[in-house]
Amino acid sequence: MSDAGVGNEGAESGRDDAEQLARRAVRRDRDAWGEIFEAHYQSVYTFVRYRLQGAAEAEDVAAQVFEVAYRGADRFDYRGVPIEGWLIGIARNLARDHIKKLGRRGYQEEIDDLNAPAEPDAAPSVDLRNDLEAAMHHLTEDQQTVLSLRFLLDRSVAETAVLMDRSEDAVKNLQRRALAAMQRALAGSGYGEG
Amino acid sequence: MDTERMDELAAEALATGRIPADATADEREEIERLLAGARQLRATRGAVHDEARASMPVARARFERFVAANPPGHAHAHPAPVPVKRDGLLARLFGGHALARTAAVAAGIAALAVGGVFLSQSFSGVETANALALEEGDYAQASGVVASTSGEGAARRLELKSEFGAVVVSVGSLSAESVDPASLKAGDSVVVEGTVGAGRVIAATAVVRTAVAVDLPRVVKFKELRELRDGLAGKVVTFTISKDGTHGVVLVDGGDGNRYAVKMDAGSAAELLEKLGTALGARVEIVHQEGAPRGVFVVRPVSAATPVGGGVLGPVTGVVVSREANVLLVRTDRGPVTVVIRTDTRILLGTNGLTLRGFLAGETVAGHKIAVTGRIEKATGNLIADVVTVGPKPVQMAPVPPEGDEAAPAEAILEAVA
C-alpha cells in the first residue's frame, strides 16, 4: 500500500510525509488534494469497478469519492488512518448508495439508458470482465471488498486487514470464502469450477 | 476440513502461487479452484487499470471544478444554491416588453466547450479541457466542423472537430425543426445544441448548418478566468449550463488572441439564453458580482448574436397555463405548446419565490412566464425540455387559475400579460 508522499527512504519518513499530506488535506490545500487525486484515483476506480455496471458508473462514483472526501476533509482523523483507507471507506458507501439508487430507478431512466450510446469495447478479455462483474454482484459487500483489494489492487493480507479494519485471520477466511463464492457464480457462466 | 488450517493454506498459496506441500488431496483440490479464481481476477487487472487511466482526465477535471467551486473557508463545500440577484434578472428579462424569440444562433466558431474554466495550471492540457467540455449532464451549445459521419436513422453520428478538440455528436433524435441528419456531411460547419450523455457523446436536440467546406479548426488552449481585469469583453463561442442548473460556463474569444473560460452564475446563464436565444456569437462583458465565490462572474450581453439557423435553437416562451406532474401546458404566441420536463431538465429560477425543491415537488407554476429550450418530438409535437427558465408571475395579472381549470383563466392570464 502506498500513500501519496510515501517514498522509499523508510517507513518512518513515509509516515511523516503521509501525515503532512493529510494535515494539508484537512486544511483543503489544493495542491495536497491534487497529490491525493493523482495517487489514489486509479485505485479507487479499480476498487469500485466490478461493483458497478460499466466504466461510466465506475468513473462517476470514483470521482464522487474525492468530492465527498474533500467536503469532509475537516473531519478526517489522519492519526492511524491511511488516506487510502479513508477513500476506500467512502467508495464502499458510495457504491452501496449507488446500487440502492439503481434499485429505485424508474421507467424513464431505463428508457434513457436504452437510448444512450453503447460503449464500444472489443477487448478480448471483455467477456471475462463482464462475467466477473456479474459474478461479483452475487457476493456480499465484504467479499467484494476483499477480492478487489487483494487481487485487483494487489494489497497484501496485512494491508487489506488495515484497510478493512479486520484481523488478518478474518481477511484470510473472507478471501477464501469470497473466491469460492465467485467461482460458484462463474460456474453458471461456463467457466467451470477450475 | 479444518477452517483455520484451510484459511492458512489458501492464504499461503494465494501469496506464493504454489500449493503448500503438506496439503491433502482434498485441500489441494479446493486450493486449485481458489487459485484459478484469483488468476481470473488478476487476468483482468491490466484492463481495469487501463480503464482507470483512461477515465482519469475526466475525473480529474471534474474534481478540479469541484475544488475550484469550494475553496478553503467556503462555508459549505457543495454546489452553491441558485443565487438570488437583487435586481431580479428574470424581472428584467420578462418585465416591460415582450420577449423577442430571437433564436439567434451564432456564427460562432469554435470550440465545444467549456471547461477550461476551472483549469488550474496542472490541469490545462487539451485532453483535460476536452474532457471538461463534455461533462456528463451539461447542457451545451457549441459549434464545429463535421469531420466524418456514421450510422443511419437513430444511430446517426457526427465526428465534430472544434478548437476545443474532437467530439462525437449523436443526431438521431433531432427536433422536428432541425436539419435533416442524413444531409449532414463532412465539411459542414454546424452549431449544435444538446446534452452531454454517457461516454461524453453530445445527444443533440438541434443542429443548424452555418456554412460548408470550411477547414477543420485548429485546437487551441483556453485560460481560466480567475481574476477579473477591467473592460474584459469578447465573443461567446461556447455556452454550457451545469446539470444542476447552479452555474454555467462560457468560452469567450477576447479578440486579442486570448481566449477565456468563464464561470458564470445561474442568472447570467438564464439571461444569455433567454435574451439572445443562443449565446453563441454574442458579444458579452464580464463583470464582478459582489459576494460571489472567487472565479464566478456575471456575464452580460452587450449585443445580440448574429441570427442564423431560422430560430431553431431559440427558446419557446410563453405563460404556463397548467401543470400536471411533469407536463406543462404553455400558451405561446404560436399557440399552445405541451412541454415535457424530464429528470435531466435543468430548471433555472429567479427572484420569483419558487424553490427548485418546491418546483420539483409539484408546486404550481401556473401564471409564470417561462422560456423553454429543447427538442420538439416529431411523433407528439411535444417540446421535450432541456432548459426551463421560470420567470415571475406577471405583475398585477389576473388571478391564477386553480390547477386543472385551464380555459377561461388562461385567457385572462394572456390578456393580463399582453
Q: What is the ipTM of this complex?
A: 0.79
Q: Is the pLDDT of residue A53 over 70?
A: yes
Topology of domain B315-417 in CATH is OB fold (Dihydrolipoamide Acetyltransferase, E2P) (2.40.50)
pLDDT (0 to 100) of residue A179: 93
Query: How far is B404 from B11, CA to CA, in rounded Å?
Result: 68
pLDDT (0 to 100) of residue B236: 80
pLDDT (0 to 100) of residue B364: 65
Q: Is B140 exposed, middle or buried (0-12, 13-18, 19+ CB in 10 A)?
A: buried
Window 119-178 of A: residues touching B by CB (8 A cutoff) are: 119, 123, 125-126, 128-129, 132, 147, 150-152, 154, 156-157, 169, 172-173, 175-176
Proportion of chain A above pLDDT 90, given as a percent: 35
Proportion of chain A above pLDDT 70, given as a percent: 73
User: Which positions in chain A touch B77 (Cβ < 8 Å)?
Assistant: 28, 70-71, 73
pLDDT (0 to 100) of residue B265: 83
Long-range CB contacts (within 8 A, 24+) of B409-413: B409/B321, B410/B321, B410/B322, B410/B331, B413/B319, B413/B321, B413/B331, B413/B367
pLDDT tens, position by position, for chain B (418 residues)? 688 899 999 999 998 888 999 999 999 999 998 998 898 888 888 888 888 887 787 778 778 878 887 777 664 444 333 332 222 222 222 233 322 222 222 222 222 223 322 223 333 334 444 445 567 778 888 878 888 888 888 788 888 887 766 788 988 877 666 778 888 888 787 888 888 877 678 888 878 776 544 456 666 666 777 777 777 888 787 888 887 777 788 888 777 777 788 888 888 887 777 666 667 777 788 988 777 777 788 888 876 544 443 344 567 778 888 777 778 888 877 677 888 887 777 777 655 566 666 666 666 677 777 888 777 776 677 788 877 877 766 544 344 344 433 333 333 333 433 3
| Residue range(s) of every CATH 1.10.10.10 domain in chain A | 123-188
Which CATH superfamily includes the segment(s) B102-310? Nucleic acid-binding proteins (2.40.50.140)
Q: What is the pTM of this model?
A: 0.45
pLDDT (0 to 100) of residue B407: 33
pLDDT (0 to 100) of residue B28: 92
pLDDT tens digits for range A182-193: 988 887 655 544
| Residue range(s) of every CATH 1.10.1740.10 domain in chain A | 1-119
Three-state SS for A104?
Answer: coil
pLDDT (0 to 100) of residue B81: 32
pLDDT (0 to 100) of residue B332: 78
Q: Which position has the grid cell 478553503?
A: B72
Show me where the domains of chain B are located.
Answer: 3-43, 102-310, 315-417
> Under an 8 A CB cutoff, do A55 and B55 touch?
yes
pLDDT (0 to 100) of residue A185: 85
* CATH topology identical between B102-310 and B315-417: yes
Three-state SS for B291?
Answer: coil
pLDDT (0 to 100) of residue A59: 87
Query: How far is B37 from B32, CA to CA, in rounded Å?
Result: 9
Window 228-287 of B: residues touching A by CB (8 A cutoff) are: none
Neighbours of B202 (CB within 10 A): 26
B53 touching A, CB under 8 A?
A: yes
> Under an 8 A CB cutoff, do A30 and B67 touch?
yes
Q: Which CATH number fits domain A123-188: 3.40.50.300, 1.20.1440.230, 1.10.40.50, 1.10.10.10?
A: 1.10.10.10
DSSP B82: P
Distance, in angstroms, between A16 CA and closest chain B CA? 23
User: Which positions in chain B touch A48 (Cβ < 8 Å)?
Assistant: none
Question: What phi and psi, each to the nearest 5 degrees, are found at residue A49?
Answer: -55, -50
Is the Cα torsion angle B280, B281, B282, B284 positive or negative in sign?
positive
Mean pLDDT in residue range A74-102? 83
DSSP count for chain B of H helices, then E strands: 8, 17
Query: Counting one residue from A and one from B, how many pairs have CB atoms under 8 Å apart?
Result: 160
Whether the CB-CB separation of B301 and B280 falls below 8 Å is answered with: no
Query: How far is B322 from B215, CA to CA, in rounded Å?
Result: 48
pLDDT (0 to 100) of residue B192: 84
Three-state SS for A126?
Answer: helix
Distance, in angstroms, between B386 CA and closest chain A CA? 14
Query: How far is B177 from B381, CA to CA, in rounded Å?
Result: 11
Test mutation, B7, B31, B122, B138, chain A, max A CBs within 10 A = B7
Topology of domain A1-119 in CATH is Rna Polymerase Sigma Factor; Chain: A (1.10.1740)
Mean pLDDT in residue range A33-55? 90
